[in-house]
Structure 1
Amino acid sequence: MRFFGLKSCDTCRKAFKSLTASGHTPNVIDVRADGIGDNDLATIVATFGEAAINRASTTWRGLSDDEKAADPTTLLATHPTLMKRPVIDADGQWTIGWKADVQAKYLGD
């Protein structure tokens, strides 16, 4: 299981803690420190499209209108912290965020 997130993100910390408590051993990729590999970036954008962009983030609010108009691949390559988090790759099954449906998938009922 690969876990794309930010070490400073409260949601990512909660998700990581819950996953490890339930027996998972996520390999954490900090998108700010480690970046997002080209293949992973392409998969994230192909899987989630525009939903991969966190438009509520402080990074998003700091972008110019021209920057906001860029495609998701360019945005995430330039500003990896714009990614909605966490993104989890569990044996080729990708999820985004940490809402109830994602929690149920990894933690059970």
Structure 2
Amino acid sequence: MEHAADEQTIMNLIMAGGNAKSSAFEAIYAAKKGDQETAKAKLKEADEFMVAAHNAQTDMLTQEAQGNHVQVSLLMVHAQDHIMNAITFRDLAGEIVDLYGRLD
């Protein structure tokens, strides 16, 4: 039996992904200015947002594994897109922060 994913869960995924990406971008900006301390703090903040997203995804995957199939909506696809982009951006930001640190 299919059920729709909770809209609040979906919105939490979108917000967590957007917040993680924003924090990662702030990390790059701080590193560019030579502020490695802030850059690393912003990367940690991005990671915390990603943990929140991961936990929400894990809950949905657990439900799916238990036979409670989630109906996939455009909003759910949008949320997953945000998460995937945030993961990629966070990984890249970590490399850029490291590079700026080596250049200083």
Q: TM-score, normalised by structure 2?
A: 0.31
**Larger strand percent:** 1
**Larger helix percent:** 2
Bigger-Rg structure (1/2): 2
Greater RCO (CA < 8 Å, at least 6 residues apart): 2
Q: TM-score, normalised by structure 1?
A: 0.30
